[in-house]
Structures are given as C-alpha cells and as structure tokens.
Amino acid sequence: MKQIKYFLILMMAFSLSSCEILQQATELGSFAKCKFRLHTIEDLYLAGVRIQNKKSIADFNFLDAAKLTTAMTSKSLPLNFILNVEVENPNLKQAAMNKFIWQLFIDETEVTQGVLAQRLEISPNGTASLPLLMSVDLKEIFTQESGSSLLNLVFNLVGTGNEPTNISLKAKPTIIVANREVVYPGFITIKNEFN
C-alpha cells in the first residue's frame, strides 16, 4: 500500500513538472511571435554628461562643457543610453522570457552587444517594455568605418542630425525549462530609422 502511495505522489509530481515545462515552452513560443519595436531612447549620456535635448554648447553649464572637452582628449569617450524595446503580445497565451541576448547594429555594423537577464511576462494582448542599457566607446568606434554612422546617430538623438540612421537589434530570447536554459533558435530582428 505504501508503495502505491509513493508511486502516486511521484506520478503527481512528474505530471505537475511536465505541465510546467510545457507552459514554459509555450511562453517562449508566444514570445517569439510577439511584435517588437525600437520605441524610445532615453538617458543619453556622453562621458557622464547628459546630452539629451541639448542643441548647442550654450545649453551646457561650465562644468559639463569642461568634462566634455576633457573627455574629447582622453583615451575613451563613453556614450551610454537606454534603448526601450516595446513588445506587444498579440497571442491568446502569455508570452515570457528569462533572458534577452542582443546585438545592436547601426547602418549594418555591429557597435555593441549585451544581455538583459530579467524575467519578462506579457499577458495576452498586452504590451511591455524591455529597457536595454547600451554602452559604446565612441573613440573605439570612430576608428572603424562605422564612426560616421554613429556620429550621425548622436546628432539625430540630440535633434541636430540631417541624415537618417538605420538601427537594428538582433536578439535571442531564452527561457528556463526544467532548470535548463533554452535559447530561441535563430534571431529576432527589430529595425527602426532615427532622424
């Protein structure tokens, strides 16, 4: 009799974990069918100085102008910003992921990559935002042929550019299924033009 009880308990535990595994796999499949859009760029900092919504050098205080001038002559010139990716779930089931591995391309050239390691759940017909922290060393990029593209993007972001910049994000969402990380096969590509 005890053996039957243990067997039933074991079967119930296996059944529950199988349902959970199936649910997690379904959530990743639903996530891959979501609609993605490069939504906004915010918190734009160059060498630690906020440059968003600045149109000319007159918009900076003396200390910030001095920091930028010093940074121009240093070995690195870090540009940091948050790229918000809007995710819309048109599915009838919840979409979810545990990690978002991404690569950022500007005019077809990869400029940075990273990982957002936080669980995101999107209810059916819901919308959510993925805030991706971007960090690019402009001095390093300017030595490559993509330097002019990135400079054009910076001008577009601060509102003084005159030529559109093509930005694309290639991403692989992952989900944890039965304590194992399952990576989506292939890439999800999200494109936008900033001007």
pLDDT digits (tens, 9 = 90+) for 9-53: 333 334 434 556 566 667 767 887 889 998 888 998 988 888 877
Average pLDDT over residues 106-115: 86
Calpha distance 156→162 (Å, rounded): 7
**Better-scored residue on pLDDT, 128 or 30:** 128
pLDDT of residue 153: 62
pLDDT at 155: 64
pLDDT score recorded for residue 40: 86
CA dihedral 155, 168, 78, 120 (to 10 degrees): 120
Q: Regarding predicted confidence, which is higher, 87 or 150? A: 87
The answer to whether 145 and 171 are in contact (CB under 8 A) is no
pLDDT at residue 158, as a whole number: 56
> What six digits make up the tokens of 42?
């915010």
Cite the beta strand spans of the chain per DSSP E: 35-46, 49-50, 78-88, 95-97, 99-106, 109-116, 120-122, 127-137, 165-177, 180-183, 188-194
171-191 pLDDT, tens digit each: 998 887 777 787 878 888 988
Residue 67 has pLDDT above 70, yes or no: yes
For residue 22, the model assigns a pLDDT of 61
Q: How far apart are CA 158 and CA 137, in angstroms?
A: 18
- Predicted structure pTM score: 0.74
Q: Distance between CA 181 and CA 184 in Å, rounded?
A: 10
Angle at 38 between CA 36 and CA 43, to 5 degrees: 140
Model pLDDT, residue 8: 33
Taking a C-beta distance cutoff of 8 angstroms, is the pair 157, 184 a contact?
A: no
Q: What is the pLDDT of residues 137-172, one digit of tens each?
A: 877 776 665 556 666 666 666 556 667 777 889 999
Higher-confidence residue of 7 and 28: namely 28
